[in-house]
Amino acid sequence: GESVGLHLPTLSVQEGDNSIINCAYSNSASDYFIWYKQESGKGPQFIIDIRSNMDKRQGQRVTVLLNKTVKHLSLQIAATQPGDSAVYFCAGSRYGNQFYFGTGTSLTVIP
């Protein structure tokens, strides 16, 4: 079956620094990945996605890197702000349905 795992359960960074959150997946057939942000008491919020035909995708202050050889993806947040404090999940799927989520990394931004 599919499994997705995050490398660190917690991460603390200074405001203004860059954050890197890592994720590994088990199913080499996974072809679509999404990073979500979840704040306390809310549903997951879409951040950025990437398909398996890409290695890198950039958004506003965020970059996702995909390494299919080692089945690893990362989320980089530039100039981390207090509003970035949340739990971050990576989710993988095949054909864009039945997403499998990791356990999440809790990011704390220190002012």
The binding site for other proteins (CB under 8 A) comprises 1, 4, 32, 34, 36, 41-46, 49, 89, 91, 95-104
CB count within 10 Å of CB 46 equals 10
Q: Name the minimum Å distance from CB 6 to other proteins.
A: 8
CB count within 10 Å of CB 17 equals 12
Rank residues 33 and 77 by Cβ distance to other proteins and give the closer one: 33
Cα–Cα distance measured from residue 69 to residue 86, given in angstroms and rounded to the nearest whole number:
29
Rank residues 60 and 98 by Cβ distance to other proteins and give the closer one: 98
Q: Name the minimum Å distance from CB 101 to other proteins.
A: 4
83: DSSP letter: G
Cα–Cα distance measured from residue 19 to residue 28, given in angstroms and rounded to the nearest whole number:
26
- Reading the block at residue 59, the tokens are 């958004």
Q: Name the minimum Å distance from CB 21 to other proteins.
A: 13
Q: Name the minimum Å distance from CB 17 to other proteins.
A: 25
Rank residues 70 and 95 by Cβ distance to other proteins and give the closer one: 95
Rank residues 19 and 37 by Cβ distance to other proteins and give the closer one: 37
Is the CB of residue 88 less than 8 Å from the CB of residue 35? yes
